[in-house]
Amino acid sequence: MLKIKRPYIVYSLPASKIHQPLISRKLPVAWEEIRFFLEKATTTVFSKPDDINIEILPPLIKNMTDPELTNILSKSTQEERLGVWKIEAENLIPAIKYFEKIQSALKTNYDIMLRLSYSFKLINPSNQEKFEFQELTSSFSVYFAKTHICLPTLFFPFQEADENFWNYIDAIKQYLPFALEEKNLRLARIKNEWVSSFKKIERPSL
């Protein structure tokens, strides 16, 4: 495990809530909001996710005969898990356009979905500068289906929930494609280079 030298603040979802919705329900708008967030507030390359997968519920695979989908899957690698295809970055936009086309016709979130995963360090969106002493890598996964959901884990390189931290939270919120729920922020306390505990933090009252 990675040893940690400094306290940090993390935003992650509780075990009782494994994902949260994107703000926008329409895929083109959600996609643009994700691009805006990743380009303005992170170090990642928007067009090159770490992983791109199309997941199809196994009993439905034989019914997926749309030529557009067949073409995308033919250029992809089927994983050992039944119903999962690894999509190459050059096929990302065709996959996005295909899911935009079929979104309204989908019955559930589980028939077919497109999953993208990113890892990155956070930057200051006001000046595009990296933070010093950022030890941990944040992650963001998004699932496009009938509705669109995400799984964010953001590590903020602040050692306490002071005025600088809350100013940063206020600044970054306008870039996020999801609603950041402040009740899910925790301060990690470090002892002997390991996390000793997590403390819930709250915005100071005015």
More confident call, 193 vs 165: 165
The pTM for the full model equals 0.92
Residue 16 to residues 19, 27, 184: CA-CA distances in angstroms? 9, 26, 12
C-alpha torsion 128→13→108→54, nearest 10: 50
Confidence band, pLDDT 50/70/90 cuts, at residue 191: confident
Residue 57 has pLDDT above 60, yes or no: yes
Q: Give yes or no for a contact between 158 and 165, defined as CB atoms under 8 angstroms apart.
A: yes
Q: Note the pLDDT of residue 171.
A: 93
Per residue in 60-85, pLDDT (tens digit) is 888 888 899 999 999 999 987 889 99
Q: Is 182 exposed, middle or buried (0-12, 13-18, 19+ CB in 10 A)?
A: middle
Confidence band, pLDDT 50/70/90 cuts, at residue 1: low
Domain regions of the chain by residue span: 8-200
Over range 152-164, report the average pLDDT. 95
Distance CA 7, CA 9 (A): 7
